[in-house]
Amino acid sequence: MNHIAGHSDNIGLVDQGIALMQQHRAAEALVLFGKVTSDDPFYVDAIIHRGVLFFKLGQTARARACLEAAQKLDPENADVYHHMGVIALETGDLKRASANLNCANTLRADDPDILANLGVVLHACGDMARAKECLGQCLALEPENTHALSALATLYLDSNAYDKYRAFSDFDTYVSASAPPVPKNGRTRERFLKTLESEIRRCPSLCDAPLHRTTVAGASTDAMTGGVGTATECLRTMFVNEAQSYAARLSCNDDHPLAKLKTCAFTTCMWGNILGAGGHQESHNHPDAWLSGIYYVSVPNEVGGPDNGQNGWVEFGRPRVEYYGADQLDIRLIKPQVGMMILFPSYIWHRTLPLAGDAPRISVAIDFIPQLPCTAT
């Protein structure tokens, strides 16, 4: 049982905090959940959310402390075991991850997110048959669960089932690179890029300890927003226009996970990234979204060609090392260029290769997050 104090203000603050988490506004969400737990130390949901945020911010000890406190208050809370299992998985403790996620699954057998993470752990432990079963159960409950889709594609790769893998990850079909024109609005392309870089650098949430823990030797913002006429909102319009064209070009079957791009309404979340010397992003995907994108604002001269190691390039198709055991990889590498926009399914693994030199590489990423259930738009 999740204890909820009688104060309706606390319920409202928790709802606001969850909304901020979905927008990648971690620091603001943490403040709200802190206010709730200060007023009501027994509000289990708020304690759990604080633990999740601490972990996303790289504060693993504080995350575990929150979840252990929540467990003492509510020993049969599936969310506690779920998030403890995710932390164990992310920190390489497969035995503890398996124990916690199996417990969460026992307490709540029809939770798609628990099933998806349990499938990942079982795959990492080598139990391919049960992993496939869990991922199948997840997708039967929630066909659009991108975390499970990514995990299933990786399992196909690891099982040498390349035809099934390519049905999810045909890079020629699903990874799109373009150079969209900048809307006029009185701006030249050069002025637009300069203004956008300034807005990223001045974003209050820009910090060297980003929410996205995959970033190494770099900084990220939380969700970027801007008023009408800002370069940020101009870029959002460019992304939306390109996403609509991307969806219109899709020729996949109706049962393909991307098919609903044509019929579903979306919200967007954009954030800025600045990578310095040696900066890169480790292999990751975007489990909350269906379609993701990158726009390159500034690319240093050191981002070179195939002859100098392809430093700074973006790579698609390499799963995280703890999930990978396949004999063969399908890889696509793309050299970033200023003004280039790349769109791709959010479930596809991707990373950036480390930068050489000291000049920064500046980009903006976006997630298109579906508003479920889908209806025709």
Residue 374 gets which letter from DSSP? P
User: pLDDT tens-digit profile of 107-130?
Assistant: 999 999 999 999 999 999 999 999
Look at the block and give the residue holding tokens 């820009």.
206
DSSP states along 181-248? PPP-TT--HHHHHHHHHHHHHT-TT-BSS-SSTTEEEEEE-S-----TT-HHHHHHHHHHHHHHHHHH
Q: Residue 231 corresponds to which amino acid?
A: A
pLDDT of residue 5: 44
Overall pTM > 0.75: yes
Distance of alpha carbon 280 from the chain centroid: 16
Residue 370 or residue 343, greater confidence: 343
Q: Is residue 201 over pLDDT 50?
A: yes
| Whether CATH 1.25.40.10 fits 8-167 | yes
Distance of alpha carbon 81 from the chain centroid: 21
Q: Is residue 3 over pLDDT 60?
A: no
The domain limits of the chain are: 8-167, 171-370
Mean pLDDT of 289-309: 86
Please give the helix or strand (H or E) that residue 369 lies within, else none: strand 361-370
Q: Which pairs count as long-range contacts for 188-196, CB under 8 Å and 24+ apart, including other chains?
A: 189/339, 192/231, 192/234, 193/297, 193/298, 193/338, 193/339, 195/230, 195/231, 196/231, 196/232, 196/234, 196/235, 196/297, 196/364
Distances (CA, A) of 42 to 12, 67, 78: 16, 12, 17
Q: How is residue 51 written in tokens?
A: 């633990």
Closest by alpha carbon to 258, among 374, 178, 134, 365?
Answer: 374
Q: Is residue 376 over pLDDT 60?
A: no
Measured in residues, the chain has a length of 377
336 phi-psi bin (left φ>0, alpha ψ -120 to 50, beta other): beta
Mean pLDDT of 291-308: 86
Q: Residue 283 corresponds to which amino acid?
A: S
For 171-370, which CATH superfamily applies? q2cbj1_9rhob like domain (2.60.120.620)
pLDDT of residue 229: 81
- Give the three-state DSSP class for 296: strand
> What does the alpha-carbon distance between residue 253 and residue 274 come to, in Å, rounded to a whole number?
38
